[in-house]
């Protein structure tokens, strides 16, 4: 088999580089053996002679023997240098890639912040422009508000003056009405006394047993009805007690109360007829004091007056009348002054029946 034709090489054409010193290696040196190529690595004549330990002045036979001795060492150095170079290239490439990525990230962050700053700058410019545009309008509104406040202040002063004048006029009118007004208290007191009198009369009617109506005799004149506030004539009394009897008809309840107290403390049996009407007096306290004082006079009229007082409109008077009946009669018939009207009516009837059965002999023994 014919050997493959060798390509026509051009002299002094640099197509290879030494992997140790990076010097150009002509292809003629490779063909002549001045440079070697092993496992993709090229070592030029510049470095091969040093690896072999010979210089250019050595003889040719010695070069062959030296080449045989240094060839393994050259390959080892070449492999070591190639490996170191490869490792160094990989590290340089890795560092370069990392630095490139870091620079890209930094550049991206710078671009992002630049965009944000540009947007903020635009917003600030817009806000400042809006504020500058609104300042004249705000100034106009402030001026209008100041004018409104001045007008309101003037109006408030006039309103305050008008209010003071209206209050003064109203006060004058009230004073005039007060001078013209009639005091209703006396009329109310008279009305209250009349109502109490009617209540006493109704209570007395309810307390009295049912009787057949009296048939008037021809020509008989009924005796005049004695008003509760009028006391009968007190005959045979000492002057001081007679004076107290006259005070029983006084319009002032305090005067009547004091007179009842003086007559009761005297315990004179002659004052009992004068105290009986006061058991129906229009004043609560005068009425209670009279009912309390009648217990000291054992007489049928006093017994009947106390039984009637059990139907008094006031609980205080009813309670006092019951206790006076117990002390006067020694009886223990029950009575609850705070009970309902029906319960009180039944208890009052029991007292009325006892009084009806005993009044003929009551006070004679």
What DSSP designation does 295 have? G
Indicate if the pLDDT at residue 216 is higher than 60.
no
Give the SS3 label for residue 11.
Answer: coil
Mean pLDDT within 339-353: 96
Pairing of strands 41-43, 24-26: unpaired
Phi-psi region of 22 (alpha: psi -120 to 50; beta: other; left: phi over 0): left
The Cα-based distances of 337 to 280, 287, 298, 323, 325 in angstroms read 17, 16, 23, 11, 13
Looking at the structure, tell me whether residues 196 and 102 fall in a common domain: no
Looking at the structure, tell me whether residues 200 and 345 fall in a common domain: yes
> Residue 17 pairs with which residues in a beta bridge?
24
**Radius of gyration (Cα) for the chain, nearest Å?**
72
Mean pLDDT highest for which of 83-87, 94-98, 353-357? 353-357
Domain holding 27, by residue range, is: 14-110
When mean pLDDT is compared across 122-136, 225-239, 324-338, the lowest value belongs to 225-239
CA distance 81 to 173: 127
Residue 123 lies in a domain: no
Looking at the structure, tell me whether residues 340 and 197 fall in a common domain: yes
pLDDT of residue 199: 57
Residue 22 lies in a domain: yes
The Cα-based distances of 21 to 16, 81, 85, 89, 90 in angstroms read 12, 11, 11, 15, 19
Indicate if the pLDDT at residue 124 is higher than 80.
no
Looking at the structure, tell me whether residues 199 and 98 fall in a common domain: no
Predicted confidence band of residue 188 (pLDDT cuts 50, 70, 90): low
Residue 314 lies in a domain: yes
Indicate if the pLDDT at residue 349 is higher than 90.
yes
Looking at the structure, tell me whether residues 79 and 200 fall in a common domain: no
The two three-digit tokens of residue 63, written as one number: 């070069």
Residue 18 lies in a domain: yes
Single residue among 110, 143, 165 that ends a domain in this structure: 110
Indicate if the pLDDT at residue 231 is higher than 60.
no
pLDDT of residue 69: 55
Looking at the structure, tell me whether residues 89 and 238 fall in a common domain: no
- How many C-beta neighbours within 10 Å does residue 255 have? 15
Single residue among 73, 88, 110 that ends a domain in this structure: 110
Indicate if the pLDDT at residue 213 is higher than 80.
no
When mean pLDDT is compared across 121-135, 189-203, 217-231, 288-302, the lowest value belongs to 217-231
Looking at the structure, tell me whether residues 349 and 241 fall in a common domain: yes
Residue 319 lies in a domain: yes
Looking at the structure, tell me whether residues 197 and 344 fall in a common domain: yes
Mean pLDDT within 78-95: 75
- How many C-beta neighbours within 10 Å does residue 228 have? 18
Residue 277 lies in a domain: yes
Indicate if the pLDDT at residue 40 is higher than 80.
no
CATH number, domain at 349?
1.25.10.10
The Cα-based distances of 275 to 131, 317, 364 in angstroms read 100, 15, 20
Looking at the structure, tell me whether residues 338 and 200 fall in a common domain: yes
pLDDT tens column, 241-271? 999 999 999 999 999 999 999 999 999 999 9
Do 261 and 248 contact (CB within 8 A), yes or no? no
Predicted confidence band of residue 56 (pLDDT cuts 50, 70, 90): very low
pLDDT of residue 200: 60
Mean pLDDT within 188-200: 59
Residue 161 lies in a domain: no
Say how many domains are in the chain: 2
- CA torsion, ordered 245, 196, 304, 222, to nearest 10 deg: 80
pLDDT tens column, 280-320? 999 999 999 999 999 999 999 999 999 999 999 999 999 99
**3-state SS record for 165-190:** HHHHHHHHHHHHHHHHCCCCHHHHHH
Residue 267 lies in a domain: yes
**3-state SS record for 204-237:** HHHHCCCCCCCCCCCCCCCCCCCCCCCCCCCCCC
Single residue among 89, 110, 131 that ends a domain in this structure: 110
């Amino acid at each position: 088999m014919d050997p493959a034709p060798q390509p026509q090489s051009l002299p002094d054409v640099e197509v290879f580089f030494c992997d140790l010193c990076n010097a150009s290696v002509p292809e003629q040196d490779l063909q002549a053996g001045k440079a070697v190529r092993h496992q993709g690595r090229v070592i030029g004549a510049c470095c091969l002679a040093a690896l072999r330990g010979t210089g250019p002045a050595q003889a040719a036979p010695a070069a062959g023997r030296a080449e045989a001795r240094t060839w393994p060492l050259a390959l080892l150095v070449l492999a070591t240098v190639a490996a170191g170079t490869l490792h160094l290239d990989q590290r340089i490439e890795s560092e370069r890639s990392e630095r490139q990525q870091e620079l890209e990230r930094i550049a991206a962050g710078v671009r992002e912040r630049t965009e944000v700053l540009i947007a903020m700058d635009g917003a600030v410019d817009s806000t400042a422009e809006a504020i500058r545009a609104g300042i004249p309008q705000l100034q106009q509104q402030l001026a209008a508000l100041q004018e409104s406040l001045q007008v309101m202040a003037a109006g408030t002063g006039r309103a305050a003056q008008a209010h003071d004048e209206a209050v003064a006029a109203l006060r004058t009118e009230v004073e005039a009405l007060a001078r013209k007004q009639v005091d209703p208290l006396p009329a109310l007191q008279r009305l209250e006394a009349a109502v109490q009198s009617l209540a006493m009369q109704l209570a007395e009617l309810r307390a009295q047993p049912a009787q057949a109506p009296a048939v008037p005799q021809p020509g008989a004149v009924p005796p005049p009805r004695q008003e509760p506030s009028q006391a009968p004539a007190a005959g045979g009394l000492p002057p001081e007690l007679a004076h107290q009897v006259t005070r029983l008809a006084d319009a002032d309840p305090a005067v009547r109360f004091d007179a009842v107290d003086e007559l009761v403390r005297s315990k004179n049996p002659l004052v009992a007829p004068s105290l009986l009407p006061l058991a129906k007096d229009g004043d609560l306290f005068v009425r209670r004091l009279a009912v309390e004082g009648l217990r000291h006079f054992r007489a049928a009229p006093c017994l009947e007056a106390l039984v009637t007082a059990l139907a008094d409109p006031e609980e205080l008077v009813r309670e006092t009348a019951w206790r006076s009946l117990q002390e006067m009669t020694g009886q223990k018939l029950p009575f609850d002054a705070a009970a309902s009207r029906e319960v009180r009516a039944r208890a009052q009837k029991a007292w009325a029946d006892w009084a009806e059965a005993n009044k003929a002999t009551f006070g004679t023994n």
